[in-house]
Amino acid sequence: MREEEQPVVMTGIDVQFDAAGGRWVAACDDPGGDARLVVAAETRARAERLLDERWRARLEGLDREAEEER
């Protein structure tokens, strides 16, 4: 578990349809404080799912890095 022992939640979520590209674009704040995480998909549900998967993978990567530093 993370040092803070508090659950980390996805923040800054934005889901919009890009009419020019014909795709749904979902974005949120990166849990590591870097640039925003952004995904695009054919449907809103898929864009939201992909964003959740990318966010969770990024969070797990940060946890692994913290473990390696200890």
Q: What is the pLDDT of residues 3-43, one digit of tens each?
A: 556 678 999 999 999 999 999 999 999 998 988 999 999 99
pLDDT of residue 40: 98
Query: Which token pair is 6?
Result: 């508090």
pTM: 0.84
Residue 36 DSSP code = P
Structure confidence by residue, pLDDT tens digits, 35-55:
899 999 999 999 999 999 999
pLDDT of residue 56: 96
Alpha-carbon distance of 4 to 33, in angstroms, equals: 16
Confidence of residue 59 (pLDDT cuts 50, 70, 90): very high
DSSP run (H or E) holding 56: helix 44-69
Among 60, 56, 70, smallest CA distance to 9 is for 56
Count other C-beta atoms under 10 Å from residue 66's C-beta.
11
